[in-house]
């Protein structure tokens, strides 16, 4: 009986992996492939009614473990350049700072770390508060190399407890929700007390589902001292739900000596660069991405002392041709 049970589990696992591989590898062009794609997604939905099994997905040369429900393989199938911009930014920062370390807030299962690792070999502090994602992150850490892990929800001082909603491979923090089990939140400065190697990290990535700008405001003293390159999501409506008016982050950055912003579409395509003191451009971006819940872009903020990195990164994006367009 035990042997039959093990064989059955092995077969089911192999079928789960086949389904993930088929989803990731189906070409985007052609009627037959579009029909195949829809059928595969329906099969996945049917499978997920029973359980959400672990599968493996190769990203930037690293084999990552993740749940079948995770949307990363779906995004990468349609958008091969999705999230690769972070790795390109990291390589430019590493070129200037030989002792570069990086903080990854909202590390998920380790996909951002994998993108960075493909571009440069730097120590990473990966912080993830959702328990299941953190277990996958811990399982993937060995393949990622020099990584320190911290299971924490990062917020601002005074954000005492939060619930987590899981949807489409992301974890969104919800303050004051009585229907969701509450977890304590910590500030980045508190977490760094346990990870002193990263107290002077010159590259931060923040993917905190609306808490990004609030975290930057909370850590203004640390940022003013370290002056890191900050790669963060700009989601005005989610930021408002987190209790912070996102537009204020730009004056905060200016007051700390930041001068250049690079703007990317959510899928990783480069849009433009400009001086963070150009208020009218900021207002246009805020209006465009603040009209629908879930609308967001990625911003990269460079301190005045890193204008050279910003210029090199912009030139690199223009050379690669990964330019976006507003739709």
Same domain, yes or no: 217 and 310: yes
Q: Which of 3-7, 169-173, 209-213 has the lowest mean pLDDT?
A: 169-173
Residue 195 lies in a domain: yes
* 91 three-state secondary structure: helix
Same domain, yes or no: 176 and 130: yes
- 322 contacts 85 by C-beta, under 8 angstroms: yes
Residue 33 lies in a domain: yes
Per-residue pLDDT tens digits for 104-141: 999 999 999 999 999 999 999 999 999 999 999 999 99
Report the domain count for the chain.
2
- 228 contacts 204 by C-beta, under 8 angstroms: yes
Average pLDDT, the chain: 90
Report the pLDDT value the prediction gives residue 327, as an integer from 0 to 100: 36
Per-residue pLDDT tens digits for 225-252: 999 999 999 999 999 988 899 999 999 9
* 16 three-state secondary structure: helix
114: number of Cβ within 10 Å: 22
In the chain, helix, strand, coil percent, each to 5?
Answer: 45, 25, 30
Residue 74 lies in a domain: no
Residue 325 lies in a domain: no
Cα radius of gyration rounded to whole Å, the chain? 20
Q: Which of 60-74, 162-176, 198-212, 306-320 has the lowest mean pLDDT?
A: 162-176
Same domain, yes or no: 189 and 160: yes
Handedness of CA 216, 86, 123, 186 (dihedral sign): positive
Residue 278 lies in a domain: yes
Dihedral-angle region of residue 127 (phi above 0 means left; psi in -120 to 50 means alpha; beta otherwise): beta
Same domain, yes or no: 40 and 96: no
Element (H, E) at 102: strand 102-105
Residue 77 lies in a domain: no
Band of pLDDT at residue 291, cut at 50, 70 and 90: confident
The whole model's pTM is what?
0.91
Same domain, yes or no: 89 and 33: no
The whole domain housing 46 covers 2-68
Report the pLDDT value the prediction gives residue 8, as an integer from 0 to 100: 72
What six digits make up the tokens of 233?
């999501």
């Amino acid at each position: 009986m035990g042997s039959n049970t093990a064989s059955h589990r092995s077969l089911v696992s192999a079928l789960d992996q086949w389904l993930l591989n088929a989803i990731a590898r189906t070409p985007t062009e052609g009627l037959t492939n579009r029909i195949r794609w829809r059928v595969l997604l329906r099969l996945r939905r049917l499978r997920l009614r029973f359980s959400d099994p672990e599968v493996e997905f190769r990203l930037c040369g690293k084999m990552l473990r993740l749940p079948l429900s995770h949307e990363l393989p779906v995004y990468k199938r349609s958008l091969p350049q999705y999230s690769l911009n972070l790795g390109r930014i990291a390589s430019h920062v590493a070129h200037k700072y030989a002792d570069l370390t990086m903080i990854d807030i909202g590390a998920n299962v380790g996909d951002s770390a994998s993108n960075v690792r493909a571009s440069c070999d730097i120590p990473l502090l990966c912080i993830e508060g959702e328990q299941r994602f953190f277990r996958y992150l811990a399982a993937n850490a060995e393949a990622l190399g020099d990584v320190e892990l911290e299971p924490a929800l990062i917020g601002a001082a005074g954000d005492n407890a939060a619930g987590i909603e899981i949807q489409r491979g992301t974890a969104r923090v919800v303050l004051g929700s009585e229907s969701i089990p509450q977890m304590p939140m910590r500030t980045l400065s508190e977490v760094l007390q346990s990870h002193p190697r990263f107290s002077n990290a010159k590259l931060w990535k923040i993917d905190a589902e609306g808490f990004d700008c609030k975290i930057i405001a909370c850590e203004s003293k640390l940022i003013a001292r370290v002056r890191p390159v900050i790669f963060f999501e700009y989601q005005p409506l989610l930021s408002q739900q987190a209790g912070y008016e996102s537009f204020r982050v730009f004056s905060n950055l200016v007051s700390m000596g930041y001068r250049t912003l690079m703007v990317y579409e959510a899928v990783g395509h480069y849009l433009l660069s400009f001086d963070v003191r150009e208020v009218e451009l900021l207002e246009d971006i805020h209006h465009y991405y603040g009209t629908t819940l879930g609308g967001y872009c990625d911003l990269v903020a460079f301190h005045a002392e890193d204008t050279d990195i910003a210029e090199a990164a912009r030139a690199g994006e223009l050379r690669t041709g990964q330019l976006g367009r507003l739709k």
